[in-house]
Amino acid sequence: MQLFLSQLMNGLGNGVIYASLALAIVLIYRTTGLLNFAQGEMALFSTYVTWKLVDDSEMGLPVAAAIGISMVIAFVGGALIERVVIRPVERSSPLVIVIVTIGMFLAINSIAQAIFGTDTKQLPSVFSDAAWVVGGVRVTAQTVGLVGVLAAECLLLWLLLQKTRVGLGLRAVASNPDSSRLVGIGTGNMLMLGWAISAALGALAGAMIVPMTPGLSAGSMQAVLIYAFAAAALGGFDSPLGAVVGGIIVGVAQALAIQYVDPLNDIELVVPFALIGGVLLFRPTGLFGRRVVERV
Amino acid sequence: MTLLSVTALAGGYGPVKVLHGLDFEVAHGEIVVILGANGAGKTTTLRALSGMIPSDGEIVFDGEDVTGRKPQVLARRGVAHVPQGRGTIDELTVEENLRVGAWTRRDSDVAADVDRWFEVFPHLADRRTQQAGSMSGGEQQMLAIARGLMSRPRLLLLDEPSLGLAPIITQELFAQLGDLNRELDTAMLIVEQNAGLALRLASRGYVLETGRIVAQGAATELEGNEDVRRAYLGL
Amino acid sequence: MKSGPGARRALLIRGATTIAVVGVLCWLPQQYGPTETTLYAEALFIAVAAMGLNLLTGYNGQVSIGHGAFFGLGAYATGILMLDHGWPFLATLPVAAVLAAVVGAAVGFPALRVKGLYLALITLGLAALFPALVNKFVKSTGGTSLVQLYRVRPKPPEWASSFAAAEDQWRYYVTLVVAGVLFALMVNLVRGRFGRALVAVREHEAAAETLGINLARVKVSAFAISALYAGVAGSLAALVRLQANAGQIEVFQQSIIFLVAVVIGGTATTLGPVVGAFVVVLLQDHTADLIKDEPTLSPALFGITLILLMYVLPDGLVGGCRRLFRRIRGRMHAGSATDSAPT
């Protein structure tokens, strides 16, 4: 039982990480109807910025402050990317946009390496390394902190989308761009805002993810991105709540599978995709999704 | 006083030209109807007016040349376009659809206006928190019109408002439109298949055929015109 | 249908172009050294995989970003059969093809329920899963999952010594012949009943069904055939590269390269994937050369070029040329009064 609970905690810790990147994916999908393959690499770049702000001898900022600053930089960067890179192909076929985000994926990854170097960096966690034993199960401050950050993130997103004028505009544009323009919403600005927020969320996710991995390097985000996609698909691409639940399910299922199903060792990737396959057979829109997704 | 004045309006979709030089106008507070068969270019005319498609010619709204402006700019100037079918924003609730209709307004009467349209369309009030996409076609049509009116437009462009509505509801809707016009002095440009009903509501009308205006005049005049009666009134 | 002198001229132009292209492809290894010849062979097998993916994504509208897995399957089938069982290369080709087609059909069945984005995701899972499976289950000579074929590489036969004396030349010509045969088959396939069924399903599933098209059969067949092409491509890759390998990043990147070749060349065109494959391979090679001091930046250059290409030619190179050709012909027709055939 204790083993089960501690695996559950492990899974939760990983799941929250997948969920945090999945949220960024869902946000862009909700506002623009696009799947951004460069999401992980945008987060990677922002995390390098965070690392630089912490590591640089002159700046040497505390981690939390560095994350805040890099989120702001990512916000601006995301808006710029939408305006400069995505805007010219906004009305092209989905496949063309997929190729453009793939181009971005390659470009951002290699530019990050050229600027920050190819060696592995260490980014300290924003949380202390304290741990408590509750009912025989080890609970780390890291996991608690991650859950807290994700919960706060979800709450803020929900407030933004459901309770503000801008949120209303974002949702309107996502659902029906033509009608939104007819009521006077500047759709371009909304798309830009969606990318900006999503990039900032990615920056936060990156800074949460890296301290739990062996270090920050060019490939840091790619495996996580696959799990995040899985989480988003499982929950439904248009549902932030779905992204969180999907992320946690993927993380927990993976941890339990590794522990209890011996043949799955080293191929635990089977788990999220078996889950997706299973869910989609019964609910083609994901667990919480509403729209049937036809576009790529 | 002329509110909208259109000269030599031409346009279409890419290489396909649908409109071949239209001249027409709408006065302040006037209801004008555009009649025509399917494919005559009625919807295209409205889309060109609200900036949804690129167009040539000259569109002057309230003394300002607005040719080629974006839809959101025209919305801010006071043009509300209720497109044909599916004009609602499916994933927003009924109430949110109305609130988003007032996007261009900065005054504090929005909540009062929402209540007002709920009074006018009690069907909608019952479904306040329901997603617009989950309602019937007729209810969505009413919602789309109410949303158009939420911006307190000076010119309302209505594309086939009766489409998909039961005859009794259509009658009710047209009665409401007449009331609104008298009360708020909202000018309306209506594209409609139901020519009889539309001509009774409108003061003037234009007849469109393959992208050209082939007849125009006072509504009563058009109603009496033999060709119009045969072609559009089924008499 | 058109007839008369115009059609005959078009046929002549097409015939002449075909002969010229085949001529150039045959001549390449005579002109260039081993490095370039291998590079062109690489473009050829990527073209094969892209042709298959084009059938699925371009004609049938099912997007896959996981064809690197089928490609890898073909490569490993050939690699293991050659190295551990001593098979000659050509004998491994049908095995690789059938294996990939069977797995492709197996993936195509669940794909019937899943569309667009979700399908892309499932195939992404395939690309992610394949390397993990290989690393777990394939233990080749040397104990790793890397299969080295250098020891068992095929030698050019006696009769080919006049034009393919060197091994790289021989491997190139083998690849060229296989690619040529598969290209001809593909052209026949998409121009026939099956091709029309694919497009009908892509455009409107319900309408296609009312025309008596069996949706499931068409979609699963498209998946299986495209997987077969990717499998054969992988098999050829094992021959050209003399190894089979499946790193997680490589399989994903390979899948992406196929998709890029299809879109860059022009989706749902017969020639597009071939053109796209050559452009992608040469582009990658040249961008790698361009910045000598900063090799880390070459993917950036490649990525940015991709984006720019999409701005300029959203319908791909072949689509763009076709548009240009039509415009020129339109102008010529407008210019001469006698040649104003109705369109």
Is position C263 within any domain?
Answer: no
Q: Is C296 on the interface with A (CB under 8 A)?
A: yes
Residue B2: φ, ψ to 5° = -85, 130
Chain B residues within 8 A (CB-CB) of chain A?
Answer: 50, 52, 70-72, 75-76, 80-81, 83, 86-92, 96, 99-101, 103-104, 144, 147, 151
Would you say A15 and A76 are in contact if contact means Cβ atoms under 8 Å apart? Answer: no
Question: Please, what sign has the CA dihedral across residues B47, B52, B58, B63?
Answer: positive
Q: In this structure, what DSSP letter does residue C213 have?
A: -
pLDDT in tens, A148-165: 999 999 899 989 988 999
| Best residue of A93, A267, A287, A291 to probe chain C, by most C CBs closer than 10 Å | A267
Q: In this structure, what DSSP letter does residue A82 have?
A: I
* Residue of B71, B89, B101 with shortest CB distance to A176: B89
Q: Answer yes or no: do B151 and A184 touch at CB < 8 A.
A: yes
Q: Answer yes or no: do B72 and A174 touch at CB < 8 A.
A: no
Among B231, B158, B226, B145, smallest CA distance to B198 is for: B158
A69 pLDDT above the threshold of 90 = yes
The per-residue pLDDT for A65 is: 94
Q: Name all chains with 3 or more CB-CB pairs below 8 Å to chain B.
A: A
Contacts of C57 in chain A (CB under 8 A): 95
> Closest-CA residue in chain C for A85?
C307
Specify burial of residue B31 (Cβ count, 10 A radius: 0-12, 13-18, 19+): buried
* Residue of B52, B96, B103 with shortest CB distance to A178: B52
* Residue of C129, C249, C260 with shortest CB distance to A269: C129
Q: For residue B39, what is the domain's CATH number? A: 3.40.50.300
CA distance readout (Å), A216 to A50, C158, C187, C296: 11, 54, 47, 16
Q: How confident is the model at residue C4 (pLDDT cuts 50, 70, 90)?
A: low
Which of the listed residues B133, B152, B171 is the one where a domain comes to its end? B152
Q: Tell me the three state secondary structure of residue C212.
A: coil
Distance in angstroms (rounded) separating the CA atoms of residues C72 and C131: 9
The count of structural domains within chain B is: 2
The count of structural domains within chain C is: 1
Is position C116 within any domain?
Answer: yes
> Closest-CA residue in chain C for A285?
C118
Highest mean pLDDT among A73-77, B38-42, B43-47, C308-312: A73-77
* Residue of A88, A95, A110 with shortest CB distance to C299: A110
* Residue of A169, A174, A291 with shortest CB distance to B103: A169
Q: Answer yes or no: do A295 and C116 touch at CB < 8 A.
A: yes
Question: Please, what sign has the CA dihedral across residues A62, A64, A68, A73?
Answer: positive
Mean pLDDT across chain C, nearest whole number? 86
Distance in angstroms (rounded) separating the CA atoms of residues A228 and B218: 63
Contacts of A225 in chain C (CB under 8 A): none
Same domain for B63 and B3: yes
> Closest-CA residue in chain A for B89?
A176
Higher pLDDT, C4 or C245: C245
Specify burial of residue C277 (Cβ count, 10 A radius: 0-12, 13-18, 19+): buried
Q: Is A293 on the interface with B (CB under 8 A)?
A: no
Distance in angstroms (rounded) separating the CA atoms of residues C21 and C41: 15
Q: What is the mean pLDDT of residues A214-230?
A: 86
Same domain for B171 and B71: yes
Q: What is the mean pLDDT of residues A238-250?
A: 88
- DSSP string of B58-83? EEEETTEE-TT--HHHHHHHTEEEE-
> Closest-CA residue in chain A for B46?
A182
B234 pLDDT above the threshold of 70 = no
Query: How many other C-beta atoms lie within 10 A of the C-beta of residue B135?
Result: 19
- DSSP string of C257-276? HHHHHHHHH-TT-SSHHHHH
Among C252, C257, C288, C298, smallest CA distance to A113 is for: C298
Name the token pair of C225. 């055939």
Question: Please, what sign has the CA dihedral across residues C154, C158, C160, C166?
Answer: positive
Contacts of B104 in chain A (CB under 8 A): 183-184
Please name the amino acid found at residue B202. Answer: A
Q: Answer yes or no: do B147 and A183 touch at CB < 8 A.
A: yes
3-state secondary structure A176-238: CHHHHHHCCCCHHHHHHHHHHHHHHHHHHHHHHHHHHCCCECCCHHHHHHHHHHHHHHHHCCC
Same domain for B227 and B161: yes
Angle made by CA atoms A239, A240, A246, in degrees to the nearest 5: 85
C240 pLDDT above the threshold of 80 = yes
* CA torsion angle B54 B60 B61 B63 (round to 10): 150
Would you say C301 and A111 are in contact if contact means Cβ atoms under 8 Å apart? Answer: no
Q: Is A99 on the interface with C (CB under 8 A)?
A: yes
Is position C287 within any domain?
Answer: no
Residues written for chain A: 296
Distance in angstroms (rounded) separating the CA atoms of residues A168 and A190: 10
A159-173, A178-192, A265-279, B213-227: lowest mean pLDDT where?
A: A265-279
CA distance readout (Å), B197 to B171, B177, C39: 8, 12, 72
Q: Which residues of A34-47 are buried (b: 16+ CB within 10 A; e: fewer)?
A: bbbbbbbbbbbbbb
Distance in angstroms (rounded) separating the CA atoms of residues A104 and A92: 17
Strand order in the sheet with B64-65: B16-27, B2-13, B55-61, B64-65
Domain that holds residue B148: 86-152
Same domain for B157 and B67: yes
* Residue of A178, A184, A290 with shortest CB distance to B75: A184
A77-91, C29-43, C295-309: lowest mean pLDDT where?
A: C295-309
Q: Is C248 on the interface with A (CB under 8 A)?
A: yes
Tell me the residues of chain C between 9 and 68 that have a Cβ less than 8 Å away from chain A: 57, 63
Q: How confident is the model at residue A36 (pLDDT cuts 50, 70, 90)?
A: confident
Q: Answer yes or no: do C299 and A107 touch at CB < 8 A.
A: yes
Tell me the residues of chain A between 227 and 266 that have a Cβ less than 8 Å away from chain C: 229-230, 233, 237, 265-266
Q: Is A283 on the interface with B (CB under 8 A)?
A: no
The per-residue pLDDT for A294 is: 38
C337 pLDDT above the threshold of 60 = no
* Residue of C126, C136, C314 with shortest CB distance to A96: C314
Contacts of A26 in chain B (CB under 8 A): none
pLDDT in tens, C85-129: 899 999 999 999 999 999 999 888 877 877 777 788 788 888 888
Distance in angstroms (rounded) separating the CA atoms of residues A271 and A267: 8
Q: What is the mean pLDDT of residues B7-23?
A: 88
Mean pLDDT across chain B, nearest whole number? 89
C197 pLDDT above the threshold of 50 = yes
- A–B interface: beta-carbon pairs under 8 A: 67
Q: How far is A111 from chain C (nearest CA, A)?
A: 6
CA C301 to centroid of chain Cα atoms:
23
Q: What is the mean pLDDT of residues B62-75?
A: 92
Distance in angstroms (rounded) separating the CA atoms of residues B200 and B170: 13
> Closest-CA residue in chain A for B81?
A182
Would you say B123 and B168 are in contact if contact means Cβ atoms under 8 Å apart? Answer: no
**What residues contact B181, with CB distance under 8 A and at least 6 apart?**
B29, B31, B187, B188
3-state secondary structure B145-205: HHHHHHCCCCEEEEECCCCCCCHHHHHHHHHHHHHHHHHHCCEEEEECCCHHHHHHHCCEE
Q: Is C138 on the interface with A (CB under 8 A)?
A: no
Q: What is the mean pLDDT of residues C198-217?
A: 87
Please name the amino acid found at residue A168. Answer: L
| Best residue of B92, B100, B157 to probe chain A, by most A CBs closer than 10 Å | B100
Q: How confident is the model at residue A58 (pLDDT cuts 50, 70, 90)?
A: confident
Predicted ipTM of the assembly: 0.87
A66-70, B47-51, B191-195: lowest mean pLDDT where?
A: B191-195
Is position C84 within any domain?
Answer: yes
A47 pLDDT above the threshold of 90 = yes
Q: What is the mean pLDDT of residues C336-340?
A: 42
Q: What is the mean pLDDT of residues B194-202?
A: 88
The per-residue pLDDT for A80 is: 96
Q: How confident is the model at residue C204 (pLDDT cuts 50, 70, 90)?
A: confident
Same domain for B105 and B64: no
Among A242, A212, A249, smallest CA distance to A227 is for: A249
B44-48, B164-168, C236-240: lowest mean pLDDT where?
A: B164-168
Q: How far is B210 from chain A (nearest CA, A)?
A: 25
Mean pLDDT across chain A, nearest whole number? 87
- Tokens 């899963």 -> residue: C129
C341 pLDDT above the threshold of 60 = no
Q: Name all chains with 3 or more CB-CB pairs below 8 Å to chain A.
A: B, C
Q: Name all chains with 3 or more CB-CB pairs below 8 Å to chain C.
A: A
Please name the amino acid found at residue B78. Answer: G
Same domain for B55 and B36: yes
A189 pLDDT above the threshold of 50 = yes
